[in-house]
Structure 1
């Protein structure tokens, strides 16, 4: 008990009344090992995507995975290879530890890289299931409601949500194999589509159904089914309007609100699909964090949401706005879907933009942005 109290997982008073903290509650909810939860609690707020992946690989839930001698050659080729695609974040030196093996397996799975060793393929399934559970706990911890107002955790929050999404989808957030997430399309068809240059939801929706069928060597109505699935994904438009020298209004609108509301039982992402709206600045301050489901956005908010954000500092810096799906990778490529917006709001520019607008055309309207 004293060890748990020192770790911040429970609180004890003089009367020996024990109460779980938010971190302790999450540890129990997601069946986390104590040492894993301690590692998660060490997050400072500026962690990158690569660093958070290492935290997942160091979790004690994966401690039963061992690095075998006959696996090293395969893993080293996935890590560094001049003749074939390799993992996104190559590691220095050769694969020599359990954590490096797990990191390589997860990255190979997210990058859709073939793993020639059958034993590693079997282990990859278990690794991804466990990593998904750890990432969900990680996201819940960094987005817990007891955070102080405007903490310097923007990078950790954003990258935790992105990593959790990637592991859930088994794809990197910028993967060209985006079609793999649609029903009826597996690794073979997604590879054919990616090789033909169809690497985003936008291109899938704009392609002719017969062209899609020709690429996949499938008969009608396969192309029409794919396009219908893409049409039932949410399409957002974001408008940013400066209010004064420190504040802006963020207006998020669902462009295909009517179409989705008429097909609520056929939504491609599912009824429980959730998205995050994350606003921060270049000083790593988290200015706004909110989440919403497609179902609530359609029925409760009537396809539109509005927020007012105030800058933390007076000096020159950037405001960054991300709208991130919780489970669908590369959704940012969908037409009119905003995934990452970088606006540089300097005091002189704000002074010019903050004058009353005679018409809405002067508002900063960003229907689409590619990273």
Structure 2
């Protein structure tokens, strides 16, 4: 009986710790609803759905003069958006009719890295969506880590990073994250084939100045901005012992292969080790 009581007591303490953790992200009246509305098969599309954002962005309303803009964005003739509002037959919805649909469309448009929205009121809505979305995604990541839900934790971490930088992780304009690079410069670099940090590190500074129409030493300054990035880390997975019952002992080795720059930001990474088939987390740690 003592062991049984101890188990129950430990479980309650653990749940209290989870509630305390969630309270740092969410208002108290939403915590229980949050814990019951997040399924095991959580994905990125579900993460940016408005039912997880609407309670936190109360100031966003669907205005009559915005409907045509939102309809055009959802039509997505250029194929920019990752997700769309779909109708009953699985086709793109032609008319946006609710604030929830507006939130979903604005989030998708922003995360392309090259948003088509330029109206001040919509830009303010986007900023609210991204700031609240990042906070909620971080909360979901901690929740899924607690629940040992591998897919949910990974997708939440990716979504939080995307909301924080206002870019999908595979956006062609990733260089916008660097200081001194705006949309015009990012597009110019994209036109010369520089789409990644590695490509920028190898690019000729003089060619950068030629393409962007800027004077010396702009190219050098752009390349120096790479120092603001977190250090590169090599991950090596080694099997140490193999057991007969299908279990193995693995050793994960992290090696820093570059030094951190002069950034004032405190970078960190989530190391999540799990099994995708069973959707289970075996190990999680924040690497700073």
Asked if Structure 1 and Structure 2 have the same fold, meaning a TM-score greater than 0.5 normalized by the shorter chain, the answer is yes
Which whole-Å CA distance do the structure 2 matches of 1:239 and 1:57 have between them?
A: 36
Which whole-Å CA distance do the structure 2 matches of 1:41 and 1:204 have between them?
A: 45
Residue 184, structure 1, aligned to residue 180, structure 2: yes
Which whole-Å CA distance do the structure 2 matches of 1:27 and 1:102 have between them?
A: 23
Match of 1:170 in 2: 166
Equivalent of 1:216, from 212, 216, 236?
A: 212
Secondary structure in structure 2 of the residue aligned to 1:161? helix
Alignment of 1:26-65 (within 5 A): 26-32=21-27, 34-35=29-30, 38-54=33-49, 57-65=52-60
Secondary structure in structure 2 of the residue aligned to 1:96? coil
Which whole-Å CA distance do the structure 1 matches of 2:271 and 2:119 have between them?
A: 40
Match of 2:275 in 1: 281
Alignment of 1:1-371 (within 5 A): 21-32=16-27, 34-35=29-30, 38-54=33-49, 57-82=52-77, 84-92=78-86, 93=93, 94-111=95-112, 112-144=114-146, 147=147, 151=148, 153-231=149-227, 233=229, 234-245=231-242, 246-257=248-259, 260=260, 266-267=262-263, 270-283=264-277, 284-293=279-288
Which whole-Å CA distance do the structure 2 matches of 1:85 and 1:79 have between them?
A: 10
Structure 1 residues 186 and 56, CA, compared in 2 at 3 Å: closer, same or farther? farther
Q: Do 2:145 and 2:281's aligned partners in 1 also have CA atoms closer than 8 Å? A: no
Which whole-Å CA distance do the structure 1 matches of 2:253 and 2:76 have between them?
A: 46
Q: Structure 1, residues 180-217: CA drift from partner, whole Å, max 9, x if none? A: 11111112111221232211111011111112222221
Structure 1 residues 22 and 98, CA, compared in 2 at 3 Å: closer, same or farther? farther
Secondary structure in structure 1 of the residue aligned to 2:214? coil
More helix by share: 2
Task: Name structure 2 gaps, 5 residues minimum.
Answer: 1-13, 87-92, 243-247
Secondary structure in structure 2 of the residue aligned to 1:142? helix
Secondary structure in structure 1 of the residue aligned to 2:49? helix
Q: Do 1:78 and 1:86's aligned partners in 2 also have CA atoms closer than 8 Å? A: no
Which whole-Å CA distance do the structure 2 matches of 1:60 and 1:90 have between them?
A: 21
Task: Name structure 1 gaps, 5 residues minimum.
Answer: 1-18, 294-371
Which whole-Å CA distance do the structure 1 matches of 2:63 and 2:228 have between them?
A: 45
Q: How many residues align?
A: 260
Structure 1 residues 97 and 239, CA, compared in 2 at 3 Å: closer, same or farther? same
Q: Considering only aligned residues, what root-mean-square deviation do their CA atoms show, in Å?
A: 2.4
Match of 2:5 in 1: none
Which whole-Å CA distance do the structure 1 matches of 2:250 and 2:270 have between them?
A: 19
Which whole-Å CA distance do the structure 2 matches of 1:33 and 1:242 have between them?
A: 44
Q: Structure 1, residues 70-94: CA drift from partner, whole Å, max 9, x if none? A: 2122112111232x34321112023
Q: Structure 1, residues 123-171: CA drift from partner, whole Å, max 9, x if none? A: 2222222222222322333334xx4xxx3x1110001011000000011
Secondary structure in structure 2 of the residue aligned to 1:220? coil
Name the TM-score, length of structure 2 as normaliser: 0.81
Match of 1:309 in 2: none
Q: Do 1:62 and 1:127's aligned partners in 2 also have CA atoms closer than 8 Å? A: yes
